[in-house]
Chains A and B, each alone.
Chain A
Amino acid sequence: MAIFKTMDPAHRRYVIRTNLFMAGYVAVNMAAIFGAFDKIIGESAGVVLGLAVAAPIAGQLWATMSLMNESDEFVRALTAKRFIAASGLAMALFSAWGFAESYGNAPHAPGWLIYPLFWGLFGLVSPFLKSSR
């Protein structure tokens, strides 16, 4: 809470938006895990459930874009740089895994893993990317 108070308004809005979208993401997933949607899982209607779970992800990416839009030029440039690095690494790693599945016997990795992988990599690259150049 103390950290939240020291944040600038753009970061405060980002934290609030992220928490709201992630609460939706967790709520729909938990409901699915505990059987609330068992009747449609595995059916065509399950696609709607998949889209419902993915919607907060799009929302969270919008929150990140809004942070960049509402921040000063340094924070905007640094966030963009980290975002691009993490996206590129996530795509490279996930593509490599996909090819390992296609050409080898690597176990199947579901597509939704790209999202936590991206944010994990974002956290990993951030301490190394501190300059906007």
Chain B
Amino acid sequence: MRNRLRDLRTERGWTQEQLGQGLGVSRQAVNALETEKHDPSLDLAYRIAVLFGRPVEDIFDNPHA
């Protein structure tokens, strides 16, 4: 799923490891999200939205819209 995760992370100067710690997932999971190799669950998508203080659809493109 296309997303702005890498941009949002680098804007804050975070590493993938740091973002993973903030979300409670592995660095591999963050990398998979950024490279579109993993579509997050609704739970993880909401955690990401809360961490960045943005609505989910600001971070992930809705492929059905």
Contact = CB atoms under 8 A, between A and B. Distances in A.
Interface in A81-133: 130-133
Interface in A5-25: 8
A72 B24 contact: yes
Which bracket fits the contact residues of B?
A: 10 to 19
Interface centre among B25, B38, B39 (most CB of A within 10 A): B38
A77 interface: yes
Interface stretch (B5-13, B26-34, B53-61): B26-34
B4 interface: no
Interface centre among A8, A73, A130, A131 (most CB of B within 10 A): A73
Contacts of B33: 74
Contacts of B40: 73
Tell me whether chain A's interface is mostly helix, strand or loop, or mixed.
loop
Tell me whether chain B's interface is mostly helix, strand or loop, or mixed.
loop
Contact of B29 (A75, A130, A131, A133): A75
A71 B25 CA distance: 8
B44 interface: yes
A73 B29 contact: yes
Interface centre among A8, A74, A77, A132 (most CB of B within 10 A): A74
B10 to A, nearest CB: 20
A132 B31 CA distance: 12
A18 to B, nearest CB: 18
Given A73-B29, A73-B38, A74-B38, 4 more contacts: A73-B41, A73-B44, A74-B33, A132-B32
Interface of A: 8, 71-75, 77-78, 130-133
